[in-house]
Structure 1
Amino acid sequence: MSRYGYTLMTEQSGPRELVRYAAGAEKAGFDFAVMSDHYFPWLATQGHAPYAWSTLGAVSQVTSRIDLMTYVTCPIMRYHPAVVAQKAATVQLLSDGRFTLGIGAGENLNEHVVGRGWPPVNTRHEMLGEAIDIITRLLGGDDVTYRGRHFNVDSARLWDRPDGGVPIATAVSGEQSIRLFAPKSDAMIAVEPTAELAETWDAVSGRTADRKIGQLPICWDRDRDKAIARAHDQFRWFAGGWKVNAELPGPAGFAGATQFVRPEDVADNIPCGPDTDAIVEAVSAFADAGFTDVAVVQIGDESQLDFLSYAESELLPALRG
């Protein structure tokens, strides 16, 4: 049976609002909540980028049942992996074991701020592999001194650490990244409902029971035209695909790259409007591809409370039915 999640999207909401939406998502009956970890929004019209980890700490205290997860944190530039391990351990303690550390190789949009340049994808994958090794050892209770190609660690230790550790879910996009990260991870993250991803993960990891976690943008509204307009205004960047989205350096770049994307183009790729069946069909594509968990992204800060009420009364019963 699939598990359904709600996305706390830091690019479109402030920290106090995100905490309120997390409590609402638990009340609505979502199984888990994922939080993005950004320094910039994709487009200036989204208008937000609070610090995910402070917000997660607050979310852990206004919820008691719903699982929590980063979707995703990049532990290779903005954050040193030893610091990510400390943050993950702390959130796991605050949430009484409800947290999964979701990580990935990141986007230039967020990582360029530290002024180290933006390495090519193969280098980013090497860095992510080293980061996972460091994080895993620290979460396992080791005293870590490490000398790698990309990272050094000098006599690090986590003094407040959950006994059960922290599961690590890693974002992948194809066979190469799966072969690198499945042996080091507890779960898979991907944004395309492709059966080959899940099948390859199972084959490489040797574990068919791993969580496979997808994410899907939607723009629910009782008024379909209003939903399409909002999705075009705030989410047309999604049309670029992740190979493009990982490289652009800021909201102005995304605005320029998507200036010719039309509202109807967005509506062709993102379920917009009041049609519950269309949302269920889009979500079901992930289950059909072997994913165990799907988190929806409701587009637009101003629509969240109405969406959570709709999810409780209509969408989640339809998905589970």
Structure 2
Amino acid sequence: MTIPIRLGYKASAEQFGPNELADFAVDAEDAGFDSVFVSDHLQPWMHEGGHAPAAIPWLGAVGARTSRILLGTSVLTPTFRYHPGVVAQAFATLGVMYPGRVILGVGTGESLNEVTLGIPWPEPPERFRRLKEALTLLDKLWTGERVTYEGEFWQVRDATIYDRPETPVPVYIGAAGPAATRLAGRIADGFITTSGKDPALYTETLLPALDEGLEKAGRTRDDIDTLIEVKVSYDPDPDEALERTRFWAPLALSPDEKVGIHDPIEMQRRAAELPIERVAKRFIVSSDPDEHVDRIVEVAQRGFRHLVFHDPGHDQAAFIERYSRDILPRLRERLDP
């Protein structure tokens, strides 16, 4: 079965408080978006004007205010702040309350979200092993009746998740490197990555790694949802479209520039030094709807069927209205005729 084209809305938890963010999610459903994905940060990228509402209770609240739209995390880390058993229980509960509408997106994590709590921050190989083990434990808890587990990182004794959805909660793996992407191809229901990087990363590294994992598991692209967060700034005023990207300047920092930073104040200081031209490079910045759609189609044609749009502006209601009017119909015509 081919995964249909889906056009989603990224709820920017780093930029807005929980009530305002929930209003935007409701607006997105009303405007015809197919999904809403939210980050799960303990701390935001920016100290001044930043926010960091907890994703799990937020998803529960938004589920109660909506009826159709898919709701997911992009991404939550089930290996440090959360015990995998807590994640298993929480998302089983969400799956019971909103059957067929909840997605658990997971990743290996960031120091920004863990180090502040005094959690030791290991090197990438250990973070990857933790993620693999957490997913194994999640599956056991969601499918077993009485689970005892002894792993490298977690131990569970006589555990049962009593309230489980009839429709299993899909698990998507977020990845920016080949190892986690191969893992997504082998075991996950979906693969999550972000836009705005060198096109070769997607065409020569990530998607080939995804295919390797799928082939190893005897699966094809039709068996997995390929999701990319597409960073966009669309406004009839080109200067405004460019300037709106400023709040998200930390995204333009290189991995070497932000590795190990756990303090939003320091992240904000480094990001403030960047010129606006470098800040905007992660975004599709445009004032012409046809040109904007052409650039998004280029992203989709690399192999993505689920596009989740992240706008950096502070007036999200205006973005949702403008995008649903000018962009979504054009995209549906081009991508899913």
Q: TM-score of the superposition, structure 2-length normalised?
A: 0.88
Is the partner of 1:317 in helix, strand or coil?
A: helix
Q: Give the drift of 1:83.
A: 0.4
Aligned-residue RMSD, C-alpha: 1.9
Q: Does 1:49 align with 2:13?
A: no
Pairing partner for 2:279 from 246, 263, 266: 266
Q: What does residue range 194-233 of structure 1 map to in structure 2 within 5 Å?
A: 194-196=202-204, 197-206=206-215, 207-208=219-220, 209=222, 210-232=224-246
Question: Counterparts of 1:39 and 1:149 in 2: how far apart (Å)?
Answer: 25
Q: Does 1:248 align with 2:261?
A: yes
Question: Counterparts of 1:150 and 1:128 in 2: how far apart (Å)?
Answer: 10
Pairing partner for 1:288 from 292, 298, 301: 301
Matching residue of 2:99: 96
Is the partner of 1:272 in helix, strand or coil?
A: strand
The one-character-per-residue Cα deviations of 1:3-52 (angstroms, maximum 9, x if unpaired) are 11101111111111121111110111111111111111101244211111
Is the partner of 1:258 in helix, strand or coil?
A: helix
Query: Conserved in 2, the CA contact under 8 Å of 1:228 and 1:266?
Result: no
Q: Give the drift of 1:273.
A: 4.8
The one-character-per-residue Cα deviations of 1:144-185 (angstroms, maximum 9, x if unpaired) are 221111122222211111122111100122322233443232
Q: Give the drift of 1:54.
A: 0.9
Query: Conserved in 1, the CA contact under 8 Å of 2:191 and 2:226?
Result: yes
Using a 3 Å threshold, how does the CA distance of structure 1 residues 54 and 219 change in structure 2: closer, same or farther? same
Question: Counterparts of 1:69 and 1:48 in 2: how far apart (Å)?
Answer: 18
The one-character-per-residue Cα deviations of 1:201-238 (angstroms, maximum 9, x if unpaired) are 13322322111111022223333323322311x11111
Query: Conserved in 2, the CA contact under 8 Å of 1:213 and 1:294?
Result: yes
Query: Conserved in 1, the CA contact under 8 Å of 2:173 and 2:180?
Result: no
Question: Counterparts of 1:147 and 1:173 in 2: how far apart (Å)?
Answer: 29
Q: Give the drift of 1:142.
A: 3.7
Query: Conserved in 1, the CA contact under 8 Å of 2:179 and 2:209?
Result: no
- Range that drifts further, 267-276 or 92-101: 267-276
Pairing partner for 1:158 from 161, 179, 187: 161
Query: Conserved in 2, the CA contact under 8 Å of 1:198 and 1:212?
Result: no
Using a 3 Å threshold, how does the CA distance of structure 1 residues 242 and 30 change in structure 2: closer, same or farther? farther
Q: TM-score of the superposition, structure 1-length normalised?
A: 0.93
Percent of aligned pairs sharing the same letter:
35
